[in-house]
Amino acid sequence: EAEAAEAIEAIDIEFEPLPFVVDPIESLRPGGANARAQGNVWVRPAPAPAPARGAAPEGRGGRGRGAAGAPPPPQIQVLKWTDEDFRNAGDGQMPLGKATDEWQFGNVEEGLKKADLILDETFMTQSTGHQPLETRTAMAYWQNGKLYLHGSTQSTVQTVASVARWVGVPPAQVVMISEYTGGGFGSK
């Protein structure tokens, strides 16, 4: 115990106050505070080119799951809009720019020339991912020992059970209010 107390006394911590983010839009302005010391956005880099035929990616076996190599880990970078971007967007608007409707990665024709086999068949899947049109938001408050939760959900029963478990109270203490739910297509 004395040794632990002595070790604690030897610890010297220096704190440096950093700017903090209150408004996510303000954080995207030039000079705005970042959510993290390294930056404000997560970016997943493009995967490395595939290794030559027969060669296993560095540090990996050549067989089984993951033989093609793991995707690169996400990185934190800094993204800021310019003052001109905000001026062009107008008051109260975000400078979103033009939506990307075309993109390309690599050279398809070159890849087809080098391919040992080209398989051209129809691929079908049963469904696509859910794309609810409204955003997911909620408001909650405690009143008379109960948690009142206003949210958009298609299943209040399932939501109550989950929320009660997260908060650590019996389901009878959670009042779920979901008056209007827009299109959820099964995912809400």
Span 77-124, pLDDT tens digits? 898 999 999 898 888 788 876 766 777 778 889 999 999 999 888 776
Distances (CA, A) of 3 to 7, 10, 11, 30, 187: 6, 11, 13, 50, 55
Closest alpha carbon to 188 in 138, 137, 132, 140 = 132
Count CB neighbours of 165 within 10 A. 11
Tokens of 102: 């075309």
pLDDT at 187: 63
The predicted-structure confidence for 25-78, as pLDDT tens digits, reads as follows 888 899 999 888 888 888 877 666 666 665 554 444 444 444 455 667 788 889
Count CB neighbours of 35 within 10 A. 13
The neighbouring-strand residues paired with 176 are 149
Q: DSSP E strands: which ranges in 39-107?
A: 41-43, 75-77
pLDDT at 102: 73
Tokens of 6: 């002595």
Distances (CA, A) of 130 to 99, 117, 127, 188: 21, 34, 9, 9
For the four alpha carbons of 118, 111, 61 and 67, in that order, the dihedral sign comes to negative
What is the helix (H) or strand (E) element at residue 184, kind and residue range?
Answer: none
pLDDT at 90: 83
Lowest mean pLDDT among 5-19, 28-42, 173-187: 173-187
Kind of pairing between the strands at 146-151 and 174-177: parallel
> ∠ at Cα 174 (171, 177), nearest 5°?
130
Please state whether the predicted TM-score (pTM) of the whole model is above 0.85.
no
126 pLDDT more than 70: no
